[in-house]
């Protein structure tokens, strides 16, 4: 951590910073410039210390971190890529893992039809929300336990693992009984009680990026899962809120190489929620594969016009089949396969 003193900071003020650092067991390096003094604070735990501890001291102008606040998700702790395995399906290996299905579980007929289509075209995990985190309390909230039962039935019938969202820490036990992968939605990325509970459960989890979260905040949230000993963590980019309103969210393609550079965790990307419109999903999905993601999470509905949730951004079975064909040569060009 670097503490920059204001111009004209007195020797007493500089000493105040030095004494505070020493009281915390930190080593210091003083850089006395002609009109500015910089104090470098050295120690293994500076990432855990709030910058405010020094920012409040008299004479201090600015405090900046050099170490990242996240630890367990970082490549500094684990240099090699992590691979998360679900029933032998590896996320983070050579294969681009496609998770696809409807936004919400609506009925047995709908879910079975979706499972059949996504599996036939090469997706290896079925998605479908039983608990839906809706912006309005008056919108369809999901079939809840009945939805979980339909997921379990479809999983048996099609021999395909399922990913579904858990919205509350109280439901982690229940959802874990039915789902192969728990999804933490964008709106819950910093629900620390939920993250801790899932961490304790050791259940495989997809952690979506919050809609206004920086990559650093997202990776620090992943530390909550890892800190409980859950190493089965997959990250999912899904677009962030910006001033741009021609898409539902702005797909942050740049976060793919950034996450890959700083974290060992596997990363999938959801183009559906970023796009908000089915016509934009294929181009985004191709860019995601080309940029180095380990997988995709795509909304596919047997009949999007009748969908209860997110029909506008859901691909039809034929659109999905076409996209999967188009993705294969792109995957190959970056040394991967689907």
Smaller CB separation from Mn ion, 41 or 179: 179
- Binds ligand PEP (CB under 6 A): choice among 129, 266, 302, 317: 129
Say how far apart CA 281 and CA 299 lie, in whole Å. 9
Q: List the single partner that 336 binds among ligand PEP, Mn ion, none, CB under 5 to 8 Å by kind.
A: none
Which residues are 315's β-sheet partners? Answer: 300
Number of residues that bind ligand PEP (CB under 6 A): 9
Which residues are 126's β-sheet partners? Answer: 100, 162
Q: Is 259 in the site for ligand PEP (CB under 6 A)?
A: no
The answer to whether 323 and 317 are in contact (CB under 8 A) is: no
Half-sphere exposure of 62 (CA within 13 A, CB side): 7
Interaction pattern, residues 76-115, with ligand PEP; x per rule: CB under 6 A: ---------------------------x------------
- Binds ligand PEP (CB under 6 A): choice among 3, 186, 293, 308: 186
Packed helices 215-227 and 255-262: angle between N→C axes, nearest 10 degrees: 40
Q: 185-200: b or e for each residue (b if 16 or more CB lie within 10 Å)?
A: bbebbebeebbbbbbe
- Least distance to ligand PEP from the beta carbon of 194, Å? 13
Cα-based distances in Å from 183 to 139, 200, 329: 20, 15, 29
- Binds Mn ion (CB under 5 A): choice among 310, 314, 323, 336: 310
Interaction pattern, residues 247-266, with Mn ion; x per rule: CB under 5 A: --------------------
Binding site for ligand PEP (CB under 6 A): 103, 129, 133, 185-187, 208, 238, 273
């Amino acid at each position: 951590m670097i503490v920059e003193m204001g111009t004209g900071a007195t020797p007493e003020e500089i000493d105040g910073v030095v004494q505070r650092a020493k009281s915390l067991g930190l080593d210091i390096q003083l850089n006395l410039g002609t009109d500015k003094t910089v104090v470098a604070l050295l120690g293994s735990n500076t990432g855990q210390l709030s910058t405010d501890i020094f920012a409040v001291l008299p004479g201090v102008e600015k405090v900046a971190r050099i170490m990242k606040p996240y630890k367990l998700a970082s490549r500094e702790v684990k240099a090699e890529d992590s691979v998360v395995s679900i029933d032998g399906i590896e996320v983070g290996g050579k294969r681009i893992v496609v998770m696809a299905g409807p936004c919400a579980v609506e009925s047995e007929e709908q879910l079975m039809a979706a499972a059949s289509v996504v599996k036939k075209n090469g997706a290896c995990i079925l998605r479908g929300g039983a608990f839906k985190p809706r912006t309005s309390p008056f919108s369809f909230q999901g079939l809840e336990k009945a939805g979980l039962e339909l997921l379990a039935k479809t999983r048996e019938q099609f021999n395909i693992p399922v990913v579904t969202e858990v919205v509350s820490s109280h439901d982690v036990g229940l959802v874990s009984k039915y789902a192969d992968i728990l999804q933490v939605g964008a709106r819950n990325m910093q629900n620390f009680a939920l993250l801790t509970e899932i961490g304790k459960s050791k259940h495989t989890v997809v952690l979506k990026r919050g809609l206004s979260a920086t990559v650093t905040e997202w990776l620090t949230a992943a530390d909550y899962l890892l800190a409980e000993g859950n190493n089965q963590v997959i990250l999912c980019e899904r677009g962030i809120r910006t001033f741009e309103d021609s898409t539902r969210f702005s797909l942050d393609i740049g976060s793919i190489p950034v996450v890959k550079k700083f974290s060992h965790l596997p990363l999938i990307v959801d183009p559906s929620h970023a796009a908000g419109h089915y016509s934009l999903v294929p181009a985004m999905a191709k860019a995601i594969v080309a940029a180095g993601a380990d997988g995709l999470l795509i909304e596919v509905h047997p009949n999007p016009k009748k969908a209860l949730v997110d029909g506008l951004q859901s691909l039809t079975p034929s659109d999905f089949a076409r996209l999967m064909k188009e993705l294969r040569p792109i995957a190959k060009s970056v040394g991967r396969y689907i």
